[in-house]
Amino acid sequence: MAISDNAEIIDSALDRIMAGYVFPRRAAEVDRALRARLAAGEYDALSGPALCAAVTAHLQEVCPDRHLRLLWQDEPRPLTALADDGAGREAFLALMRAENHGIRRTEQLDGNIGCLDVRWMADAGEGAHAIGAAMELVARTRALLLDLRKCRGGSPAGAAMWCSYFFPDGEVHLNDIYERSTDSIRQYWTLPHLPAPRYLDRPVYVLTSATTFSGGEDLAYTLQAHGRAEVVGETTRGGAHPTLRHPVTEHITVTVPAARTVNAVTGTNWEGVGVQPDRAVAAEKALETAHGEARERLG
User: How many Å apart are CA 250 and CA 77, to the nearest integer?
Assistant: 5
Neighbours of 94 (CB within 10 A): 10
pLDDT in tens, the chain (299 residues): 344 599 999 999 999 999 999 999 999 999 999 999 999 999 999 999 999 999 999 999 999 999 999 999 998 887 765 555 566 788 899 999 999 999 999 999 999 999 999 999 999 999 999 999 999 999 999 999 999 999 999 999 999 999 999 999 999 999 999 999 999 999 999 999 999 999 999 999 999 999 999 999 999 999 999 999 999 999 999 999 999 989 999 999 999 999 999 999 999 999 999 999 999 999 999 999 999 999 999 98
The pTM for the full model equals: 0.90
Q: CA–CA separation, 140 vs 144, rounded Å? A: 10
Residues 6+ apart with CB under 8 A from 157: 123, 124, 188
Q: In angstroms, what CA-CA distances link 127 with 13, 31, 32, 225?
A: 32, 38, 42, 25
Where are the domains positioned within the chain? 6-83, 99-239+274-298
Which amino acid, one-letter code, is at 247? P
Q: How far is CA 88 from the centre of its chain?
A: 16
Judge: domain 99-239+274-298, CATH 3.90.226.10: yes
How far apart are the C-alpha atoms of 218 and 160, rounded to whole Å? 9
Cross-strand pairs, 280: 233
